[in-house]
């Protein structure tokens, strides 16, 4: 082959390899960006009522999960528009602290009966959950808005322990 053709093929091959390396780099970086941005939008915090109120500015209009004790006397449900509103009181998020305070039943009861505990209003549009009752442990997924109301997309409830104990006694009988 002529020297010019070899040089030309070398230049073309070099440019092709450079384009391939640059393309792979761009593809890799864009893939990492997509993975990071999609996981960041679905990441949710799990917080106590105290946690979310302490970080109110930071948490406003961000998806979050909060947990608390349902205050039964605050439950209001408008059947016509399917709007549920209630308050939850702060309970410790740490399992060891719950055990130190006497267990979940006592912690939930103390939270509901202590008017000095931090509370947050929850509003949910949908059917009223059957397990929503005084001293239920609620895990609520939604967003805190500027009006200090937590607008729920999903409500998960755990019966107060005294109801769970009654169910297990019934099952034994």
pLDDT tens sequence for the chain (173 residues):
677 888 888 888 888 887 878 878 787 777 666 666 555 444 444 789 999 999 999 999 999 999 999 999 999 999 999 999 999 999 988 788 888 988 888 999 999 999 999 999 999 999 999 889 999 999 999 999 999 999 999 999 986 655 444 444 444 44
Tell me the whole-structure pTM to 2 decimals: 0.67
**Burial class, 97, CB count within 10 angstroms (exposed 0-12 / middle 13-18 / buried 19+):** exposed
Alpha-helical regions (H) of the chain: 3-42, 49-54, 56-59, 95-100, 104-113, 161-172
The rounded Cα 115 to chain-centroid distance in angstroms is 26
Sequence-distant (≥ 6) Cβ neighbours of residue 163 within 8 angstroms: 133
Angle between helices 104-113 and 161-172 (to 10 degrees): 140
* Residues β-bridged to residue 150: 122, 144
């Amino acid at each position: 082959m002529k020297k010019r053709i070899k040089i030309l093929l070398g230049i073309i091959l070099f440019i092709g390899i450079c384009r391939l390396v640059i393309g792979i780099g761009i593809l890799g970086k864009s893939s990492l960006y997509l993975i990071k941005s999609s996981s960041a939008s679905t990441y949710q915090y799990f917080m106590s009522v105290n946690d979310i109120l302490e970080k109110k500015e930071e948490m406003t209009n961000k998806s979050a999960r909060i947990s608390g004790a349902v205050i039964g006397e605050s439950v209001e449900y408008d059947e016509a528009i399917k709007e549920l509103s209630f308050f939850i009181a702060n309970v410790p998020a740490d399992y060891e602290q719950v055990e130190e305070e006497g267990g979940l039943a006592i912690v939930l009861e103390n939270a509901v009966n202590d008017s000095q505990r931090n509370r947050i209003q929850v509003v949910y549009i949908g059917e009223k959950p059957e397990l929503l009752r005084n001293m239920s442990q609620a895990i609520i997924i939604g967003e805190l808005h500027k009006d200090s109301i937590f607008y729920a997309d999903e409500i998960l409830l755990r019966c107060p322990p005294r109801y769970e104990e009654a169910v297990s006694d019934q099952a034994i009988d």
